[in-house]
Amino acid sequence: MIMDTQNQDFSRIATRKIIKNAKFERDSISIDLDYVANHSDFTFGLCEFLDEFKRSDNKGGMIENSPQPGIASRESLCILAAVAHKLANDYSLDIPKWVFHPMYKMPHPIFAHNTTNEEYQRFLIGDSPREFADKNVFYGSRAIERV
């Protein structure tokens, strides 16, 4: 019985240490648009960015600089420009000038889920925020909503 109590105590201490280290490592990572643009999983990185943006006291600082291309595709960079533009409008922040650069407008429309369904495409065209549509990105009105 004493052994089980000691093991449980050790396990609790080890778990607290792991959680503390994970929190420190997360806090030391800068989650910004570069982080998203160069993340191996763009969608996951974008979700982390949006969660961090909600918590941040420096929302304007998180979107003021354009993402560096790195491994990001032009499509991903256009999506990030649309996200930054929409967040700026939603939170009454200064709209970063970089989002208006022609590089951040797709030469052809792109649709959520790469859909080729014309009915769904028409829906997305009507439902996408102006900040996305201006960049030829049609992902719908809930594109950057997080729970």
The residues near 49 (Cβ < 8 Å, ≥ 6 apart) are: 31, 32, 33, 35, 36, 62
pTM of the model as a whole: 0.78
Predicted confidence at residue 96, as pLDDT, reads: 97
Confidence check: pLDDT of 2 > 70: no
What proportion of the chain, given as a percentage, has pLDDT over 90? 71
Query: Residue 90 and residue 85: Cα distance in Å, rounded?
Result: 9
Confidence check: pLDDT of 145 > 50: yes
Write out pLDDT tens, residues 95-124.
999 999 999 999 999 999 999 999 999 999
Nearest Cα residue to 34 out of 97, 75, 76: 76
User: Within 10 Å of residue 14's Cβ, how many Cβ atoms?
Assistant: 10
